[in-house]
């Protein structure tokens, strides 16, 4: 009997080990590449950036380090509504509690279920270890019949053998660990007839309540929340929606840095990657420089450059700059009108 | 719940663990409760139908036992049959009946507007109704004694491993087994798990992948080439076997672990040397049900060739209707009947064949060819589509085909799996079991083989959110 139990345990252990190996081999690595540096960082972060692809492309943590000595991570994810950002923030603070949480409000008008693209849900959830917080977040953001694949990604990715055998693997995002969650999109595009408006949408938008919950969550953890709207092409309606956040920010007493309304941060004719308002590397550098100056002016953020404990940030910066030079600096990128 | 679902992955080990921890006298109560939980996972309210079927057949069986006269016994039996067949007919055939009447009226020019009804077919109703009826008829015939305890009988009707897709068991085999004490047994569990593994391989690796190709070709059959249709029909024949035999194997393995032996439901049907032999190997629990409760009572082969042919045609027409409420199923059943009638009329060879193996092989190939024709009718969207497909196979063999969406890697994987399946079927045909073969291996090699089998099912199986879990084909029957 004892021998049989031992053999069964041994066999089950071998099965679990094989499944772990297969899980590692079969899963997409996009999420790991985006978030691995976040989970591996031992010194914590001064600032965490949350929100949509406008943050993902528009804020460069490495340039924030280079120019201000501030440690930050870009948690931005494509088409992420604020109702989800609330959960991303919650899960992020399971690992690191920053001094400041900067929240992009571009998707303030979108409800959770209408905006968040399926693949980007995986881009966020796949790297997160299974935890009670993750289960809560998945339950809150996913329909009941679609939760398992986020809690056990192998249930989805076991079917990738076909793609892997055929050598037909494409990356979803261009994030490398040294980008600290951000990405570079080397292109230029301009939207015609683009005009600014300072009008604001009246009434409650789906993201307003999420912003209240985000602020409460931040305060609960001793974190300073900051709402931002990054500059970039946006429709009149999108601008009005973003402008409406000023009301909520005032109600909560949270700073709202509406960079859309600040002239001269970016060159709208050269610094956008596409007409949807994503910033290219030049635009991201300008927006990051402005944000860094604003954050260091308003908060007591220690300049950590030169601190031996943060030497790995300098190593990553070198990698980042080499990458940026390769894909952007000195390149003749045509303007696509 | 489906066998290939996360829910079952939690349900079955939990049920098994508690089952063996419980005192022997209440083990069957636990199984009964869990069988209803299993069934109610689909549509809880339909458990009432199963309960009604159980109560009716149980009451009628007691009435049969208690009746003083043959007339009374007969009345009790026919009441039970009428109520159960009525229930089955209402849920399964109302729409078909109204639609057929409408067609007939349209055809002969009578203006009639039959109501369009949409009644959800309760999962497994055809299976548990037939199982309950067999019990009641067996009580009437005196083959078994009526079970006095309603709840023990309810477990016989609802026993979850074979509840929704068979095998359709007889009370003489199952009733006593499910209600008696069972202790955990290592060897039995190992064998049960191995049978389940084979079932999962057939279902999720072969059937569910093959169905992608079949669906693509049959879905656009008008544009498909004859060669594609022929290949898709062959693939469907394998899919159909793996889908249903796979489910049966999982059911048999599951029951075995719990200490219950279910009957073999498939015995290498594509090695059959005649259509009659095919039906002695395919869905055996249903074939024998029709044999025992319709064919024999009709007189079987007594009374000459004509009566035998008539009886065969009745049985296979009913079998067609059992498989589905559509004309194509009736045609499919009748086709199987016709093939067997013709086989019965053919003269028997007077001498032994000179090359018996070659003769057997030719008979097998010819039988499979006939079965493929019936499979095409079975899988086609309608009877007219089936005829159109047959015409296309005959006339447009080399026509430009359609994109099946089935990649080269998928085709390779499916082909390899077909070869593995063929070898497994060959082993079984030689009256050997996989357990016998693997037991010859050293422990380490055997463990590695099992491990590879499980991993192959997990990796190459079509399961999880990447696929919309195709309900087991036979669930709808």
Chain B contact present for A46, CB below 8 A: no
Chain A contact present for B213, CB below 8 A: no
Residue B21: partners with Cβ closer than 8 Å, 6 or more residues away: none
Name the DSSP letter for residue B303: T
Contact A155, A19 (CB under 8 A): no
3-state secondary structure of B55: helix
Distance CA(A49)–CA(A55), nearest Å, equals 7
Residues A254/A257/A260/A261 CA torsion (nearest 10 deg)? 90
> How far does the CA of residue B398 sit from the closest CA of chain A (Å)?
29
CB contact under 8 A, B447 and A7: yes
The tens-digit pLDDT sequence of chain B (477 residues) is 778 788 888 999 999 999 999 998 899 999 999 999 999 987 888 899 999 999 999 999 999 998 889 899 999 999 999 999 999 888 888 888 888 888 888 888 888 777 777 777 788 888 999 999 999 999 999 999 999 999 999 999 999 999 878 799 999 889 899 888 899 998 899 999 999 999 999 999 999 999 989 999 998 888 899 999 999 999 999 999 999 999 999 999 999 999 999 999 999 999 999 999 999 999 999 999 999 999 999 888 788 888 889 999 999 999 998 888 888 999 999 999 999 999 988 888 788 888 888 989 999 999 999 999 999 999 998 888 999 999 999 998 888 888 877 878 888 889 999 999 999 999 999 888 888 888 888 988 989 999 999 999 998 888 777 633 232 233 333
* Closest B-chain CA to A25: B459
Q: Is omega for the bond preceding B167 within 30 degrees of 0, making it cis?
A: yes
CB contact under 8 A, B464 and A162: no
pLDDT digit string (tens) for A255-266? 999 998 888 888
Chain B contact present for A166, CB below 8 A: yes
Contact B195, B170 (CB under 8 A): no
Can you say how many angstroms the Cα of residue A314 is from the centroid of all Cα atoms in its chain? 22
Chain B contact present for A308, CB below 8 A: no
Distance CA(B323)–CA(B375), nearest Å, equals 13
Ranges of H-type helices in B109-148: 125-141
CB contact under 8 A, A15 and B454: yes
Name the DSSP letter for residue A103: E
Name the DSSP letter for residue A333: -
CB contact under 8 A, A156 and B458: no
Ranges of H-type helices in B142-185: 150-158, 171-179
Chain B contact present for A18, CB below 8 A: yes
Catalytic residue among B182, B283, B323, B351: B323
Chain A contact present for B413, CB below 8 A: yes
Name the DSSP letter for residue B205: I
How many other CB atoms are there within 10 angstroms of residue B154's CB atom? 22
Determine the pLDDT at residue A172.
Answer: 65
Residue numbers in A near B186 (CB within 8 A): 4
Contact A186, A327 (CB under 8 A): yes
Ranges of H-type helices in B159-304: 171-179, 186-200, 208-219, 226-257, 275-279, 284-290, 296-298
Contact B446, B217 (CB under 8 A): no
Packed helices A82-95 and A132-141: angle between N→C axes, nearest 10 degrees = 180
**Starting from the edge strand earliest in sequence, which strands make up the sheet with A256-258, in order?**
A72-74, A47-50, A100-104, A224-229, A256-258
> Of A11, A19, A146, which is closest to B465 when you measure between CB atoms?
A146
> Of B409, B455, B461, which is closest to A18 when you measure between CB atoms?
B455
> Of B410, B451, B461, which is closest to A15 when you measure between CB atoms?
B451
CB contact under 8 A, B186 and A4: yes
Determine the pLDDT at residue A331.
Answer: 66
Distance CA(A179)–CA(B175), nearest Å, equals 67
- Which of A119, A159, A167, A168 is the best substitution to test chain B (most B C-beta atoms within 10 A)? A159
CB contact under 8 A, B413 and A146: no
* Closest B-chain CA to A147: B465
Determine the pLDDT at residue B473.
Answer: 37
pLDDT digit string (tens) for A169-181? 666 667 788 889 9
Of A83-87, A104-108, A273-277, A292-296, minimum mean pLDDT range:
A273-277
Query: For chain A, what is the radius of gyration of the CA atoms?
Result: 21
Tokens describing residue A25 = 């081999």
Residue numbers in B near A4 (CB within 8 A): 186
Structure-model confidence comparison of residues B60 and A33, the more confident one: B60
Distance CA(B233)–CA(B378), nearest Å, equals 10
Please report the number of interchain residue pairs, chain A to chain B, with beta-carbon separation below 8 angstroms: 54
Determine the pLDDT at residue B474.
Answer: 38
Packed helices A206-220 and A82-95: angle between N→C axes, nearest 10 degrees = 20
Chain B contact present for A21, CB below 8 A: no
Give strand pairing partners of A229: A258
> Of B407, B447, B450, which is closest to A166 when you measure between CB atoms?
B407
* Closest B-chain CA to A22: B459
For residue A98, how many C-alpha atoms fall within 13 Å in the half-sphere facing its CB? 27
> How far does the CA of residue A117 sit from the closest CA of chain B (Å)?
16
* Closest B-chain CA to A23: B459
How many other CB atoms are there within 10 angstroms of residue B249's CB atom? 26
Structure-model confidence comparison of residues A193 and B290, the more confident one: B290
* Closest B-chain CA to A20: B455
Residue numbers in B near A119 (CB within 8 A): none
Tokens describing residue B392 = 């296309």
For chain A, list the domains and their CATH numbers: 26-336 (3.40.50.1110)
| C-alpha distances out from residue A330 to A186, A324, B166, Å | 11, 10, 71
> Of B186, B451, B455, which is closest to A11 when you measure between CB atoms?
B451
**Locate tokens 């955990």: which residue?**
B184
Determine the pLDDT at residue A332.
Answer: 64
CB contact under 8 A, A18 and B465: no
Distance CA(B381)–CA(B467), nearest Å, equals 22
Contact B228, B210 (CB under 8 A): no
**Ramachandran bin of A321, using left for φ above 0, alpha for ψ from -120 to 50, beta for the remaining angles:** alpha
DSSP B439-466: HTS-HHHHHHHHHHHHHHHHHHS--STT
Reference B176, options B151, B148, B153; nearest CA is B153
CB contact under 8 A, B458 and A161: no
* Closest A-chain CA to B443: A7
Residue numbers in B near A21 (CB within 8 A): none
- Pair type for strands A47-50 and A100-104: parallel
CB contact under 8 A, B409 and A156: no
Active site includes B323? Answer: yes
pLDDT digit string (tens) for A57-70? 999 999 999 999 99
* Closest A-chain CA to B187: A4
Structure-model confidence comparison of residues A159 and B168, the more confident one: B168
Reference B110, options B97, B101, B98; nearest CA is B101
Residue numbers in B near A167 (CB within 8 A): none
Q: What is the mean pLDDT of residues A280-304?
A: 93
- Give yes or no for residue A326 having a pLDDT over 90: no
3-state secondary structure of A75: coil
pLDDT digit string (tens) for A207-230? 999 999 999 999 999 999 999 999
Residue numbers in A near B442 (CB within 8 A): none
- Pair type for strands A100-104 and A335-336: unpaired
Chain A contact present for B442, CB below 8 A: no
In b/e form, how buried is each residue of A217-239, taking b as 16+ CB within 10 angstroms?
Answer: bbeeeebbbbbbbbbbbbeeebb
Distance CA(A75)–CA(A59), nearest Å, equals 10
Q: Report ipTM for this prediction.
A: 0.73
Q: What are phi and psi of A101, to 5 degrees?
A: -115, 115
Residue A179: partners with Cβ closer than 8 Å, 6 or more residues away: A60, A61, A62, A74, A320, A323
Chain A contact present for B109, CB below 8 A: no
Long-range contacts of B414-422 (CB under 8 A, 24+ apart): B414/B206, B414/B209, B414/B210, B414/B213, B414/B235, B417/B201, B417/B205, B417/B206, B417/B209, B417/B460, B418/B206, B418/B238, B420/B201, B421/B202, B421/B206, B421/B238, B421/B242
Residues composing chain B: 477
Distance CA(B39)–CA(B50), nearest Å, equals 9
Residue B229: partners with Cβ closer than 8 Å, 6 or more residues away: B217, B218, B221, B376, B389, B392, B393
Determine the pLDDT at residue A168.
Answer: 66
Please identify among residues 272-331 of chain B the ones whose CB lies closer than 8 Å to any CB of chain A.
none
Please identify among residues 144-163 of chain A the ones whose CB lies closer than 8 Å to any CB of chain B.
146, 148-149, 155-156, 158-159, 161-162
Residue B257: partners with Cβ closer than 8 Å, 6 or more residues away: B16, B188, B189, B192, B193, B196
Tokens describing residue B190 = 């190992």
CB contact under 8 A, B458 and A158: yes
CB contact under 8 A, B459 and A22: yes
């Amino acid at each position: 009997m004892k021998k049989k139990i031992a053999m069964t345990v041994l066999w089950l252990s071998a099965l679990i080990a094989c499944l772990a190996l297969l899980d590692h081999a079969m899963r997409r690595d996009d999420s790991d590449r985006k978030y691995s540096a976040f989970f591996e960082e031992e010194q914590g972060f001064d600032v965490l950036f949350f929100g949509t692809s406008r943050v993902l492309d528009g804020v460069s943590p490495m340039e924030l380090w280079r120019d201000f000595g501030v440690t930050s991570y870009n948690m931005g994810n494509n088409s992420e509504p604020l109702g989800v950002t609330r959960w991303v923030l919650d899960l992020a603070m399971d690992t690191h509690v920053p001094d400041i949480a900067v929240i992009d409000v571009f998707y303030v008008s979108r409800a959770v279920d209408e905006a968040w693209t399926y693949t980007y849900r995986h881009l966020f959830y796949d790297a997160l270890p299974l935890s009670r917080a993750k289960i809560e977040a998945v339950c809150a953001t996913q329909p009941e019949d679609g939760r398992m694949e986020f809690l056990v990604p192998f249930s989805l990715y076991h079917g990738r053998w076909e793609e892997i055998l055929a050598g037909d693997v494409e990356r979803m995002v261009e994030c490398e660990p040294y980008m600290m969650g951000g990405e570079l999109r080397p292109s230029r595009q301009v939207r015609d007839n683009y005009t600014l408006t300072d009008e604001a949408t009246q009434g409650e938008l789906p993201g307003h309540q999420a912003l209240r919950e985000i602020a409460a969550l931040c305060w609960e953890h001793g974190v300073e929340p900051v709402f931002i709207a990054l500059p970039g092409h946006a429709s009149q309606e999108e601008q009005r929606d973003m402008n409406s956040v000023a009301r909520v920010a005032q109600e909560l007493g949270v700073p709202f840095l509406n960079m859309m309304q600040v002239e001269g941060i970016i060159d709208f004719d050269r610094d956008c990657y596409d007409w949807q308002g994503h910033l290219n590397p030049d635009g991201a550098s300008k927006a990051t420089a402005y944000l860094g100056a604003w954050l260091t002016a308003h908060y007591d953020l220690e300049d950590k450059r030169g601190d031996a404990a943060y030497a790995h940030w300098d190593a990553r910066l070198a990698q980042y700059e080499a990458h940026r030079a390769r894909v952007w600096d000195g390149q003749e990128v045509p303007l696509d009108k | 719940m489906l066998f290939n679902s996360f829910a079952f992955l939690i349900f079955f080990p939990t049920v098994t663990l508690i089952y063996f921890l419980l005192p022997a006298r209440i083990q069957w109560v636990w199984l009964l409760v869990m069988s209803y939980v299993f069934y109610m996972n689909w549509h809880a309210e339909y458990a009432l139908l199963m309960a009604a079927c159980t109560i009716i057949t149980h009451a009628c069986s007691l009435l049969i036992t208690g009746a003083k006269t043959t007339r009374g016994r007969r009345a009790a039996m026919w009441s039970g049959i009428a109520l159960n067949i009525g229930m089955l007919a209402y849920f399964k055939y109302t729409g078909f009946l109204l639609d057929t009447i409408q067609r007939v009226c349209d055809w002969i020019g009578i203006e009639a507007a039959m109501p369009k009804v949409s009644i959800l077919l309760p999962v497994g109703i055809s299976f548990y109704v037939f199982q309950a009826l067999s019990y009641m008829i067996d009580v009437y015939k005196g083959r078994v004694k009526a079970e006095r305890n309603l709840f023990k009988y309810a477990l016989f009707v609802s026993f979850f491993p074979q509840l929704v897709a068979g095998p359709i068991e007889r009370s003489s085999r199952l009733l006593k087994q499910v209600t008696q004490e069972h202790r955990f047994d290592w060897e039995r569990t190992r064998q049960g798990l191995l049978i389940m593994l084979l079932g999962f391989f057939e279902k999720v690796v072969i059937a569910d992948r093959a169905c992608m190709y079949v669906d693509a070709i049959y879905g656009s059959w008008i544009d498909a080439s004859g060669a594609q249709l022929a290949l898709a029909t062959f693939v469907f024949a394998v899919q159909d076997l793996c889908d249903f035999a796979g489910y049966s194997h999982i059911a048999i393995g599951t029951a075995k672990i719990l200490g219950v032996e279910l009957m073999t439901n498939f015995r290498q049907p594509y090695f059959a040397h005649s259509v009659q032999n095919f039906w002695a190997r395919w869905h055996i629990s249903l074939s024998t049900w029709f044999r025992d409760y319709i064919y024999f009572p009709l007189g079987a082969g007594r009374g000459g060739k004509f009566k035998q042919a008539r009886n065969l045609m009745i049985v296979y027409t009913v079998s067609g209707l059992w498989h589905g409420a559509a004309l194509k199923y009736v045609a499919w059943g009748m086709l199987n009947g016709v093939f067997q009638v013709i086989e019965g009329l053919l003269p028997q060879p007077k001498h032994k064949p000179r090359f018996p193996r070659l003769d057997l092989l030719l008979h097998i190939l010819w039988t499979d060819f006939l079965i493929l024709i019936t499979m095409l009718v079975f899988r086609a969207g309608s009877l007219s589509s089936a005829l159109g497909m047959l015409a296309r196979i005959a006339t447009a063999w080399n026509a430009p085909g359609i994109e099946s969406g089935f990649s080269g890697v998928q085709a390779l994987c499916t082909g390899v799996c077909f070869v593995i399946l063929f070898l497994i079927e060959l082993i079984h045909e030689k009256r050997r079991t996989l357990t016998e073969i693997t037991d010859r291996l050293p422990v380490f090699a055997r463990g590695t083989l099992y491990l590879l089998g499980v991993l192959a099912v997990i990796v190459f199986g079509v399961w999880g959110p990447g696929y919309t879990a195709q309900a087991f084909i036979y669930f709808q029957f």
